[in-house]
Amino acid sequence: MSEMESGKVCILTTGGTISSVYDAKIGAYRPGFSIEKLLKTLPPGMERIEVITQELFQLDSANAQPHHWQEIANAIKQTYENNRDLDGIVILHGTDTMVYSSAAISLMVQDFGKPIVFTGSQIPSSEPWSDGPRNVRDAIRVAAWADLGETCIVFNGEIHRGTRARKIRERAQDAFDSVDPTPLGLLGREIVLYEKRIRRHNRVPRFKVNLDNRVCLLKVFPGMLPEIINRVVDLGYRGIVIEGFGSGNIPAKENSLADAIKDALSRDCIVVMTTQCAFGQVDLSLYEVGKAALQVGALSAYDMISEIAVVKLMWCLGQTDNLEEIRKMMLTNYVGEITMSSSVGMNGK
């Protein structure tokens, strides 16, 4: 689609820095800047795009919970059913947990066939130097015109896959990076898209919004007591994602975690190993300390990002109670979230 054509986009607002205003009473920023005011900050020329809006909630994304992902997914479904001529959807969201939400929507809304674009800002839109207007403008451009059929994050002139991004900078405007592979595209005078993407299509969307949020993320550190894993299972968690050292390694001698992982698995708790490294993937067969987790039955996340592994495990547990099926689903590539040496393709094909 050409950027000279008209378009129709729905903007769903959830709060975040982009909609924050300074509250003198509390001495801090809080969500409260309306979408109407934000749209007035956009430059001339955007009027070719028809924009419909819906405010879901005004929430700092640090307060976002899994049920909020479900509300966003259900809003997308309703919007789709009421506006079949829609070119794309933009979701305004806080940056702190944007990658969790974008991953959840990627999995809960599959085969949408049009761009579902998350964006936000590092500086509140109520400030004159905010990066919000640019990000919203770019997100609308992608939603209206990009040949893209998947969920993504648009930020600081880059387009990141919704299951491959990570917030790596706390305040800088280039807050997000793609973690293996590269971004889906760039935004400049034109929208530049790379080949490894899902293009627009006309398949029937699938909405699978069930979740089980009893999943815990643990980061291994020197001195970590194995009993922590036992206590997590005692609390009723059905899944644990463990960020190991390097290629997924765990202590295997003093304070060995192997027996605790084995015990968790015997209590029907899925254990998935990821890595603390920003780039690379888990290989539990490489070192003795990795095999310690592999031999007791822990599952490798391969190159799946920890945040994405948490969301995917919640989603898998929400689809079935069959533990073997859940393990298979975790290793199935649905929306570009995992790449394995066996070259499993999209939707496991």
Reported as type and span, the H/E element at residue 125 is none
Q: Is there a catalytic annotation at residue 14?
A: no
Residue 207 and residue 105: Cα distance in Å, rounded?
9
Distances (CA, A) of 147 to 59, 115, 156: 31, 8, 19
Q: If the chain, 349 residues long, is cut into consecutive pieces of 10 residues, what is the mean pLDDT of each piece?
A: 80 92 86 80 78 93 97 97 95 97 98 97 89 94 96 97 95 91 92 93 96 98 98 98 97 97 98 94 94 96 96 98 97 93 40
Q: Which residue has the tokens 């800088």?
A: 172
Strand partners, 178: 165
Q: Domain boundaries in the chain?
A: 7-207, 215-348
- Which listed residue (53, 77, 79, 167) is catalytic? 167
Distances (CA, A) of 269 to 114, 211, 290, 313, 320: 36, 16, 19, 11, 14
pTM of the model: 0.93
- Which listed residue (13, 14, 17, 274) is catalytic? 17
- Which listed residue (13, 14, 60, 95) is catalytic? 95
Q: Is there a catalytic annotation at residue 17?
A: yes
Residue 198 and residue 137: Cα distance in Å, rounded?
22
> Which pLDDT value is given to residue 3?
67
Backbone region of residue 180 per phi and psi (left: phi > 0; alpha: psi in -120 to 50; beta: other values): left
CATH of domain 7-207: 3.40.50.1170
Q: Is there a catalytic annotation at residue 37?
A: no
Domain 215-348 of CATH type 3.40.50.300: no
- Listed in order, strand segments (DSSP E) in the chain are 7-15, 20-23, 28-31, 49-59, 88-92, 109-110, 116-119, 151-155, 158-161, 165-167, 176-178, 185-187, 191-193, 206-207, 215-219, 239-244, 270-275, 299-300
DSSP string, 279-326: SS---TTSSHHHHHHHHTTPEE-TT--HHHHHHHHHHHHHH---HHHH
What percent of the residues of the chain are helix, what percent strand, and what percent coil, each to the nearest 5?
30, 25, 45
CB atoms within 10 A of CB 118: 31
- 152 three-state secondary structure: strand
Q: Is there a catalytic annotation at residue 167?
A: yes
Reported as type and span, the H/E element at residue 330 is helix 323-330
Task: Give yes or no on whether 7-207 and 215-348 have one common fold.
Answer: yes
- Which listed residue (13, 14, 60, 96) is catalytic? 96
Residue 294 and residue 300: Cα distance in Å, rounded?
8
For 290, phi and psi rounded to 5 degrees? -85, -40
Distances (CA, A) of 90 to 18, 141, 172, 184: 13, 10, 22, 17
Strand partners, 117: 90, 152
Strand partners, 273: 242, 300
Bond prior to 66 in cis (omega within 30° of 0): no
